[in-house]
Structure 1
């Protein structure tokens, strides 16, 4: 099924100045889409010409020879040809309003969740109920946990609309659960690569290497204290001569955060050697993945929705120790691919103050995430027990690592995910075909962007219409043309060529009026049908220039 990718280069690269999870997901998706899509033409919706060029270059670099088409704001109607627009965010409202100008049934919209905790995204989700999103649209939820979060926001918004407006009918997009994908082959390492990685880490045969991969942010990703405490407890149970190394492969946003990590590790796990690698460097990521024995990610943050690193670890053949949290609940099978560690969060109703502080911008988004994560606990004793079991049993590590590898290849490789996207887009097209004719046609489908002559209809003395009688101001056509030519040379006039009639059209109008006054409808009757309404309104432009006058 063909789809137009809403393409802004920044959303599909990890080479930008600020690397976030959505950038990594976008870059991986585009690579997967271009590798596995069955599309016969690659479409992109772009804001700028250079973005279209960048998309075409990406298609070519991926080895695809199919035609590439781009659509911008001047050609939006062409989106009816691919039939679906993939927008890499959950907020489809603005795109739905733009589509309204061409007809809701002209194409489908498909968004996707990333973080849903920010005020901007929560507002965008709530607005799905008050924007012209249709049943043939979809917001892909990357986990069952985030789908529940989206549904809770929508329910709260519905409750408000029922109380406020007494609404009885809602139109919702589809909310399918489709996980993010990875390129599993990127995480396959041979024995020489593994041996070299361990040498680089200074890890001998008696060293157990635990890996954390990702942005090192205690307030916005995964608070590391539980991991540190559990590793220290597990390290104390090791036989003499064995030791633990923790590789933190990521990046700190600033020196304050880097020092906070160092101080916490020094206090909580003094027996564990910490190795810091830069997760933005491919060579450091390879060293981390190839050299590790166990992967750990104890996510405890509401800004996470899926969490891609556990499936990357599974693709690398590593057993995983992860929190029982968000998307990890879907991806990691407890006791099979590794261990999911229980988490604890206060009951609903105990954080209204935090929500209000965030809403009123007393707290920044980062502080909002930080406050909530400090009230979400990961079971340290259960984490330590999981580490101890894996440290003590090489065969268990191998079995869990192999089970995870097979699961990652079967379920989370882009070769398995892209067909699910394309099947969804085909399903949306079917729904659109079945239901499109049932939608009510409104005179102003985008109420806040009405025709200005309708919105401000009370302002003028008279309204130009087909029954308006017009005449030349001048005694002759020649004099009118001469004056108009002079007027059109003025900068304050020629800046609006978009609303002025063409020179040939002007000539026809003046010729007709040289024979006497005429109705506006008569003046445009002889023009091509597609130009009649355009020229009808431009008669007001000629009146403004004092070339024509209204005859009472």
Structure 2
């Protein structure tokens, strides 16, 4: 496998020739669970990259990076996955090379800024594809609202991981549309595609042998009369799933069990701090004293193995708006474990009530009763964590229905097996990366078709990124006059060549290497003026066409150094 940095620069670009080709916007932190702060997006990114490298159909891998070292990290991941295709990297100095890749996949919804960056090279030169994770944070909501004001195009997309989150995205976009119509009288809104494609998992990771199951149950001291219930994920009552409904439901179910049966609850995850850890302990002691609670560290592979392999029933009663999809119920299904989940967000799509397990009804207040919560968050009165915590405090999960679901599963090994097998089959058929990656690639090919079909209708603006305008356009009224092709120039001194050599050696001059012409280019200009004044347009005619604009503006740099002067002012 070869790795190279792409060298396309400026406005140079190529029309995409492979519609399934795509670039991955890669920062190592977004695609690993080894970082100091493990979040759902990290797990999703790591899992996606592994799936993409396993199942992606391409004859070369493109990557967009902030630093070229990140490209080497991506190339290492490609090689480690056993792929031998060439890796081509694009950074900020060669952004136009993305036209050859065709589509850039971003591991978040904020493609607006990337649409602005693309504007310089042409809106139709490549597509942008983002994806939703949490959409409740201020940054995520701003990114979604910006889709209407940034130059995002119909050949771009933001993948929604569930129907619930797509509805949330559409509500934000509708509110932004209402504002823009009232504010500007806008009559046309341009939206990206908003397909619903779920997150994927590697279902083979969740297959356990009978020996592993026996060892795991022994590790948690669970015999044949013990019902092991598992919660997997961050242990955060304010930003993940408030556990009190689960505790109460398990206590009710425990009281209804035969006297020789018992319940063990495994909470496999991690607490952000000691305060949260103690809060969990106190709540469990108060609400489910009949249940033995075991805490395992979800950041450790051996603890995750113990948790998954020992469980009879999986539970996640999510009630938090920061959730959008929820990967762990699918992992439980892949492990053949029946699930008890809240009827909430992405769980509505993934878990079939009465087939793979049970979806427990939820209730929250109607619209109009949470504006104070939104305002407190917007004004930084509340942190994002408190915003989520206040909101989830007003979301109810039916405790009685949860207890009924637990009791039904505890009472019937046959029901547990039937639901577990149904979930296992569904996970393999619908949520394995082998199934999901082709959906991504089909989307990227569709975006290429839309882009190429609309290329001829794109009108370029003189200032495609208004807030990042050419400084000589934005500040055109600052100088006394502007250099034009008809501006007459002459030598300011007889030793111009020697003077220029001295001046350009100064640190205060040569720091601006990006705008300084070469010695040879300077000699061409100065030699042309030996016989008298000439217009600026004439001075650059002997240069290669692609260098003429560069040297033309650098004539002002030579004026600045008093090597040239305006002939009309002599």
TM-score where L is the length of structure 2 = 0.96
Q: Kindly report structure 1 stretches of 4+ aligned residues shifted beyond 2 Å.
A: none
1:288 pairs with 2:304: no
Deviation at 1:440, TM superposition (A): 2.1
Q: Name the structure 2 match of 1:544.
A: 560
Per mean C-alpha deviation after superposition, the further-off stretch among 254-263 and 466-475 is 466-475
1:489 pairs with 2:505: yes
Deviation at 1:119, TM superposition (A): 0.5
1:254 pairs with 2:273: yes
List aligned pairs for 1:94-493, cutoff 5 A: 94-475=113-494, 479-493=495-509
1:201 and 1:214 mapped to 2: Cα distance? 18
Deviation at 1:484, TM superposition (A): 1.2
Q: Name the structure 2 match of 1:80.
A: 99
The residue matched to 1:525 in structure 2 has which SS?
A: coil
1:186 and 1:57 mapped to 2: Cα distance? 22
Deviation at 1:460, TM superposition (A): 0.4
Deviation at 1:279, TM superposition (A): 0.3
Q: Name the structure 2 match of 1:33.
A: 52
Measured against aligned partners, the alpha-carbon deviations of 1:392-434 in whole angstroms (never above 9, x if no partner) come to 0000000000000000000000000000000000000000011
Deviation at 1:435, TM superposition (A): 1.2
1:548 and 1:205 mapped to 2: Cα distance? 93
Deviation at 1:436, TM superposition (A): 2.1
Q: Name the structure 2 match of 1:516.
A: 532
Measured against aligned partners, the alpha-carbon deviations of 1:471-506 in whole angstroms (never above 9, x if no partner) come to 00123xxx1111111111211111112111110011
List aligned pairs for 1:518-537, cutoff 5 A: 518-537=534-553
Q: Name the structure 2 match of 1:506.
A: 522
2:69 and 2:541 mapped to 1: Cα distance? 42
The residue matched to 2:513 in structure 1 has which SS?
A: coil
1:439 and 1:166 mapped to 2: Cα distance? 23
Deviation at 1:72, TM superposition (A): 0.3
1:463 and 1:19 mapped to 2: Cα distance? 54
2:73 and 2:515 mapped to 1: Cα distance? 33
2:318 and 2:98 mapped to 1: Cα distance? 39
The residue matched to 2:271 in structure 1 has which SS?
A: coil
The residue matched to 1:105 in structure 2 has which SS?
A: coil
Deviation at 1:307, TM superposition (A): 0.2
1:240 and 1:148 mapped to 2: Cα distance? 47
The residue matched to 2:242 in structure 1 has which SS?
A: coil
In structure 1, runs of 5+ residues without a counterpart are none
2:395 and 2:452 mapped to 1: Cα distance? 46
2:426 and 2:367 mapped to 1: Cα distance? 34
Deviation at 1:49, TM superposition (A): 1.7
- For these two proteins, the number of residue pairs brought into alignment is 549
* Alpha-carbon RMSD: 0.5
1:288 and 1:368 mapped to 2: Cα distance? 31
1:519 and 1:483 mapped to 2: Cα distance? 22
Deviation at 1:39, TM superposition (A): 1.0
1:497 and 1:225 mapped to 2: Cα distance? 63
2:402 and 2:458 mapped to 1: Cα distance? 54
In structure 2, runs of 5+ residues without a counterpart are 1-19
The residue matched to 2:264 in structure 1 has which SS?
A: strand
Deviation at 1:146, TM superposition (A): 0.2
Deviation at 1:20, TM superposition (A): 0.3
1:289 and 1:194 mapped to 2: Cα distance? 8
1:499 and 1:308 mapped to 2: Cα distance? 51
The residue matched to 2:293 in structure 1 has which SS?
A: strand
The residue matched to 1:81 in structure 2 has which SS?
A: helix
Measured against aligned partners, the alpha-carbon deviations of 1:226-266 in whole angstroms (never above 9, x if no partner) come to 00000000010101100000000000000000000000000
List aligned pairs for 1:55-74, cutoff 5 A: 55-74=74-93
Deviation at 1:454, TM superposition (A): 0.4
